[in-house]
Structure 1
């Protein structure tokens, strides 16, 4: 039996039948009856009570969220040992440029670098708790392939405990594919496009939900920032915030008519996305030697840096305002000017219809709920 030394707390092996033992470190005598404390019994899993919902002339009960594990084949860390969690904060940041392809993007890797800088310097995420996947990485397990993105998502939620703050950021192509189960209001699943999507396929929102949303236990918070086309409901969350240009909003019910559970196991998930499901997100034009960024990531970071990140409503409103502003209204930095040129169909040669979206596992007052990472 193991006992702790009564003076220096060194673990000691008590011989069978012995009434006391002398510590070889401090020489104190420990009497039997001071066994090492057993670990506390974990609390039972949290299951919110079922609630009746009515939407679009149908009623159903949301079943309690079962603790769904991540796909077994990815339920482990990549062989190269990604960073360990520290300080109860973890992040996965993905930026894909699709270099040397007909689908190349210019701002996505810069988005990833800017997001990491903000998390480290403003929100105190330790660099060792951030897993970056871009084409610039030399580690083959940090190249944003479908396999590596799946492993990174699983790593993000593994071992999470109450109080943890998780971030999932993606900048790259997004798409849609026909849904045949009836779980999507518009009839389409949203998808992420890994670097090798043309040969390995896309990652569907159902899998993203099952991997990083449904397993989250009580007390864990996940923020997703998705800068991609067709990204409004990329995490398949049950509620979407519909906000008009005056700032008025309502929560739209996106729970599947089949009754499939798309919420969490008690945790909290909030997602900012670049556009609605039927819209496209812009990549800011790069002229001369100026660095380009994604419009949504740029607007999100600007909202935080300009002190407009007090609540979720203020962030969403600021992001939409930034993307709508004209060149005359903004002025200022060259990057901002490039963004405006793209919005107005300038150097990029196209206009942009893009409205950032907010979705969550549970509705809340967007103007009173404080934003925090």
Structure 2
């Protein structure tokens, strides 16, 4: 059983390293000191913290994944909060050239286009000086807990991930294709993957009425990585139907009344490109760049989900024929990043949601 303790300030659940005397929260930076029973000798490590550690699974919860821990209510309605993750896997055989570039461009867009306060954005990349902002599995989990903690009507939440994705065989029958979609944190080889079931339970199911969550996931096999109940299947001509992906088991994968919408880099059986084919000057995720380009210089907040999705798909399709460009967003990429290697494109961004809607009538607004 994992050893967890509630942080002394924000009450985020923290995983306790063996033998630790204290632990620091990456969200509020408060230090929680650990105490042992004052009886005889310190108990064996496997039995330590019995009075202050909660098990990672509480039977009263509908799933084995903890929701955001309780915390003080926000001081005002209408907040905007974001978690941005960019992982390069530097010096490994799986190194990605454009993921940190994606994260920088997305942060710039959120602050300057959508008026997200910089203090309300948690940035997780290998370039961060704070060790708690390195995109390890535990740090990503804690950031996602923070994202939904205390959310209430009027809040707009945003999650962007650029990095490797994977999938693994599903055994509980809640996947139409038989596979769970996963994100690969920096330490995935030692700590494991972050599975779609956990992502759904952490940032989708807790959402109350009036809260809006958008996720932009630029990774392989990411079509249904938030495990949302409905997928918008769109043809090249722009016609679409909503596919019902609710599990046959009856497990609810939607929210607690809030709105959750995900745009992913590709379908569940496709890969996402890390390429210079779109920006012409630096490696970026094809999907992230097409999203930033659309929101920066084409339609912005006036676009609907349908026009946004079509625009992103058309941009990716046309990249190999050298039709992409756009001096404004290209200058942005040049300002924030450097140039790297190109890659091939074979992907179609996907749209999933808690509930079906008219994609050509509903405006895309963060």
- The TM-score bracket by the shorter chain reads 0.7 to 0.9
Shift of residue 232 of structure 1? Answer: 0.2
Partner deviation per Cα, 1:143-186 (whole Å, 9 max, x = no partner): 00000000000000000010000000000000000001111111
Number of the residue aligned with 1:356: 349
TM-aligned CA distance change 1:266 to 1:255, over 3 Å: same
Look up the SS of the partner of 1:195 in the other structure.
Answer: coil
Which of 87, 96, 100 is 2:87 aligned to? 96
Look up the SS of the partner of 1:306 in the other structure.
Answer: helix
Describe how 1:148-159 pairs up with structure 2 within 5 A: 148-159=139-150
1:313 and 2:306 correspond: yes
Contact kept? 2:273, 2:344, Cα under 8 Å: no
Look up the SS of the partner of 1:131 in the other structure.
Answer: strand
Q: Distance in 1 between matches of 2:107 and 2:76?
A: 15
Higher Rg of the two aligned structures: 1
Number of the residue aligned with 1:221: 212
Shift of residue 291 of structure 1? Answer: 2.5
TM-aligned CA distance change 1:267 to 1:86, over 3 Å: closer
Contact kept? 1:194, 1:203, Cα under 8 Å: yes
Number of the residue aligned with 1:177: 168
Look up the SS of the partner of 2:284 in the other structure.
Answer: coil
Look up the SS of the partner of 2:116 in the other structure.
Answer: coil
Q: Distance in 2 between matches of 1:319 and 1:332?
A: 14
Q: Distance in 1 between matches of 2:179 and 2:266?
A: 15
User: After TM superposition, which residue ranges in structure 1, 4 or more long, deviate above 4 angstroms?
Assistant: 66-74, 84-87, 331-336
Q: Distance in 1 between matches of 2:116 and 2:177?
A: 37
Task: Report the aligned-residue RMSD.
Answer: 2.7
Look up the SS of the partner of 1:329 in the other structure.
Answer: coil
Q: Distance in 2 between matches of 1:155 and 1:334?
A: 33
Q: Distance in 2 between matches of 1:132 and 1:89?
A: 14
Q: Distance in 2 between matches of 1:226 and 1:307?
A: 21
> Any stretches of 5+ residues in structure 1 without a counterpart?
1-65, 78-83, 337-346
1:299 and 2:290 correspond: yes
Shift of residue 353 of structure 1? Answer: 1.4
Number of the residue aligned with 2:124: 133
Q: Distance in 2 between matches of 1:272 and 1:121?
A: 21
Task: Say how many residue pairs are matched.
Answer: 291
Q: Distance in 2 between matches of 1:217 and 1:228?
A: 28
Q: Distance in 1 between matches of 2:306 and 2:328?
A: 27
Q: Distance in 2 between matches of 1:278 and 1:318?
A: 22
Q: Distance in 1 between matches of 2:89 and 2:177?
A: 28
Q: Distance in 2 between matches of 1:253 and 1:133?
A: 33
Number of the residue aligned with 1:330: 324
Which of 195, 200, 205 is 2:196 aligned to? 205
TM-aligned CA distance change 1:331 to 1:319, over 3 Å: closer
Contact kept? 1:300, 1:319, Cα under 8 Å: yes
Shift of residue 290 of structure 1? Answer: 3.7
Partner deviation per Cα, 1:73-122 (whole Å, 9 max, x = no partner): 97379xxxxxx999610000000000010100000001011000000001
Number of the residue aligned with 2:361: 368
Contact kept? 1:70, 1:211, Cα under 8 Å: no
Describe how 1:154-165 pairs up with structure 2 within 5 A: 154-165=145-156
TM-aligned CA distance change 1:260 to 1:140, over 3 Å: same
Number of the residue aligned with 1:108: 99
| Bigger mean CA deviation after superposition, 290-299 or 108-117 | 290-299
Q: Distance in 2 between matches of 1:73 and 1:367?
A: 33
Look up the SS of the partner of 2:102 in the other structure.
Answer: helix
Q: Distance in 2 between matches of 1:293 and 1:324?
A: 15
Q: Distance in 2 between matches of 1:185 and 1:70?
A: 21
Number of the residue aligned with 2:25: none
Number of the residue aligned with 2:264: 273
When normalised by structure 2's length, the TM-score is: 0.74
